[in-house]
DNA sequence: GCGATTTGACCGTC
DNA sequence: GACGGTCAAATCGC
C-alpha cells in the first residue's frame, strides 16, 4: 500500500525517526493555483517535500567517513531542516514575526513568536498564546547586548544537529516551566560562543518550546575545509547562497505581485526554500543531490510496486 | 574514570 | 532587593 504524504496532517515531521525509504509517494510537484490559499497550500506542499529531501540528504551526509566533515555537513542539513520547518510554521500561522538579526548562514530566520507576548500558532495549526511576560534585555555579563540570532517556537528543541551542553536551569518569574541554559559543546575546545535558552511554552501534547539562540556557531566553520580544498564539496555553505532578490524568486510565477499583502508569508517561506534549493543546485553539491535523487527514485519504485 | 547533568550560590543589571 | 544568567562543586550514568 502506498502511503500518502500530502494527505498527512500538519504535524511536524519527526526527522530523527524517519528511515530511508520513508519518503512518501505523492509528494510530486504541486500545480500553481490562482488563489492565495492555493498558493499557500502549494508552498506548504513544497516545503514538506523539501523537509523530506533534507532528511534524505542528512542520511546521505551521515555516510561521510571523516567525523569532522560529517558533523559539519549534518549541522548544515540541520539548518536546512530548521529553515523549512520555520517556513512551514509561517505559512500555517499566516503571520510573520521576525526576531533579531538573521544572517545568510542561518536561513531558518523566521519565528512564530513575538517577544512582546504576542500570539503564535503551533505546527499542527492550533493557536499558541504566549503569556505576557516581562522581557529583560539580554545582556552579557559586562553589559554588552547579546546578539539574539533567532527565536523559534518548536516541539523539538533538541533537534538542530548541534552539540549542546546544559549549564544551568532557572525558575523564571511567572513562568510555569523553568528555563534551561545550554552552551555549545565546543565552547571550551573551540571557544564557540553559541548558546541557547529553552523554555517550555505550553502543556500541549507534544509541548511547545521557545528556543532562543544566542551568538553564531563558530565551531562548525573550524571544521570546514579551505576554499581550494578538493574535499570541500560535501560541506553546504549558506554564506554563498543567493540573495533574496535572486532571479529564482522572480521566475516563480505564482509569486507575482498580485495579492501582495496576503502572499507575504508565502514569499518569505518560499524564499527560504528557494535559497536552500539554490544552494543544493551548486555544482559542488551535485554529487550528494544526485545520490539522494537516485535513492529517492529507488524508494518511489518500491512504493509504486507495493 | 570521564563526560554530562544538576543545583545552589554568586554576580550583574534593573 | 528582585530577577535572570552563569559558575562550579556535587552527583549521575555510561
pLDDT in tens, A120-167: 333 333 333 333 333 344 554 444 555 666 777 877 777 676 788 999
Q: Which bases of strand B sit closer than 7 A to a protein CB?
A: 4-9, 11-14
pLDDT higher than threshold 50 for residue A112: no
User: pLDDT band at A273, cuts 50/70/90?
Assistant: low
pLDDT of residue A146: 57
Nucleic strand B within 7 A of Cβ A165: yes
Four-point Cα dihedral A109, A114, A120, A122, nearest 10: 50
User: pLDDT band at A281, cuts 50/70/90?
Assistant: low
CA distances from A23 to A2, A127, A143, A273 (A): 11, 29, 48, 18
Q: CA neighbours within 13 Å on the CB side: how many for A36?
A: 14
CA–C1' A170–B10 (A): 14
Q: Are A244 and A17 in contact (CB under 8 A)?
A: no
Nucleic strand B within 7 A of Cβ A297: no
Residues 70-129 on chain A lying near strand C, CB distance under 7 A? none
Nucleic strand B within 7 A of Cβ A142: yes
Nucleic strand C within 7 A of Cβ A196: no
Distance CA A133, CA A145 (A): 20
pLDDT of residue A149: 67
Summarize pLDDT for A79-97 with one digit per residue, the tens. 667 667 666 665 555 433 3
pLDDT of residue A136: 46
CA–C1' A292–C6 (A): 44
Tell me the mean pLDDT in the region A163-190: 87
Residues 125-144 on chain A lying near strand C, CB distance under 7 A? 134, 136, 138, 140-141
pLDDT of residue A119: 32
User: pLDDT band at A40, cuts 50/70/90?
Assistant: low
pLDDT higher than threshold 70 for residue A207: yes
User: pLDDT band at A38, cuts 50/70/90?
Assistant: low
pLDDT of residue A36: 53
pLDDT of residue A226: 35
pLDDT of residue A104: 30
Q: Are A152 and A160 in contact (CB under 8 A)?
A: no
Which residue has better confidence, A266 or A187?
A187
**Lookup: nucleotide whose C1' is closest to A181 CA:** C5
Q: Is the torsion defined by CA of A272, A278, A284, A289 positive or negative?
A: positive
pLDDT higher than threshold 70 for residue A52: yes
Alpha helices, H only, chain A? 36-61, 67-93, 219-223, 247-250, 264-280, 286-305
pLDDT of residue A79: 66
**Lookup: nucleotide whose C1' is closest to A214 CA:** C5
pLDDT higher than threshold 70 for residue A202: yes
- Average pLDDT of the residues of chain A: 54
Strands of A134-264 (E only): list them. Answer: 148-154, 164-170, 179-184, 195-200, 209-214
Closest CA-bearing residue to C1' of C3: A173
Percent of chain A surpassing pLDDT 70: 27
Residue A243's SS3 state is coil
CA–C1' A152–C2 (A): 28
Nucleic strand C within 7 A of Cβ A165: no
pLDDT of residue A283: 52
pLDDT of residue A215: 81
CA–C1' A140–C3 (A): 15
User: C-alpha grid cell for residue A227?
Assistant: 576554499
Nucleic strand B within 7 A of Cβ A143: yes
CA–C1' A165–B1 (A): 20
Tell me the mean pLDDT in the region A280-305: 47
pLDDT higher than threshold 70 for residue A290: no
Nucleic strand B within 7 A of Cβ A20: no
User: C-alpha grid cell for residue A292?
Assistant: 539522494
Amino acid at each position: 500500500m502506498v502511503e500518502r504524504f500530502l494527505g498527512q496532517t500538519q504535524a511536524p515531521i519527526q526527522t530523527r525517526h524517519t528511515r530511508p525509504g520513508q519518503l512518501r509517494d505523492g509528494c510530486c510537484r504541486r500545480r500553481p493555483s490562482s488563489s492565495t490559499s492555493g498558493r499557500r497550500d502549494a508552498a506548504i506542499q513544497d516545503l514538506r517535500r523539501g523537509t523530506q529531501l533534507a532528511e534524505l540528504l542528512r542520511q546521505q551526509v551521515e555516510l561521510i567517513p571523516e567525523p569532522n566533515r560529517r558533523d559539519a555537513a549534518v549541522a548544515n542539513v540541520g539548518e536546512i531542516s530548521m529553515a523549512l520547518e520555520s517556513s512551514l510554521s509561517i505559512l500555517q500561522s499566516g503571520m510573520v514575526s521576525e526576531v533579531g538579526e538573521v544572517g545568510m548562514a542561518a536561513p531558518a530566520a523566521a519565528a512564530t513568536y513575538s517577544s512582546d507576548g504576542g500570539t503564535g500558532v503551533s505546527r499542527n495549526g492550533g493557536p499558541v498564546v504566549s503569556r505576557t511576560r516581562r522581557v529583560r534585555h539580554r545582556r552579557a555579563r559586562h553589559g554588552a547586548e547579546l546578539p539574539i540570532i533567532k527565536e523559534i517556537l518548536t516541539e523539538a528543541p533538541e533537534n538542530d544537529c548541534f552539540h549542546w551542553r546544559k549549564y544551568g536551569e532557572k525558575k523564571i518569574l511567572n513562568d510555569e516551566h523553568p528555563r534551561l541554559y545550554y552552551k555549545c559543546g565546543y565552547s571550551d575546545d573551540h571557544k564557540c560562543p553559541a548558546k541557547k535558552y529553552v523554555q517550555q511554552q505550553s502543556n500541549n501534547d507534544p509541548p511547545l518550546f521557545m528556543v532562543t539562540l544566542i551568538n553564531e556557531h563558530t565551531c562548525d566553520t573550524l571544521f570546514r575545509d579551505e576554499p581550494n580544498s578538493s574535499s570541500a564539496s560535501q560541506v553546504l555553505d549558506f554564506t554563498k547562497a543567493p540573495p533574496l532578490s535572486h532571479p529564482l524568486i522572480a521566475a516563480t510565477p505564482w509569486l507575482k505581485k498580485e495579492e501582495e499583502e496576503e502572499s507575504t508569508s508565502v514569499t518569505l517561506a518560499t524564499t527560504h526554500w528557494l535559497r536552500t534549493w539554490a544552494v543544493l543546485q551548486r555544482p559542488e553539491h551535485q554529487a550528494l543531490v544526485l545520490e539522494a535523487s537516485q535513492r529517492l527514485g529507488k524508494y518511489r519504485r518500491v512504493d509504486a510496486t507495493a
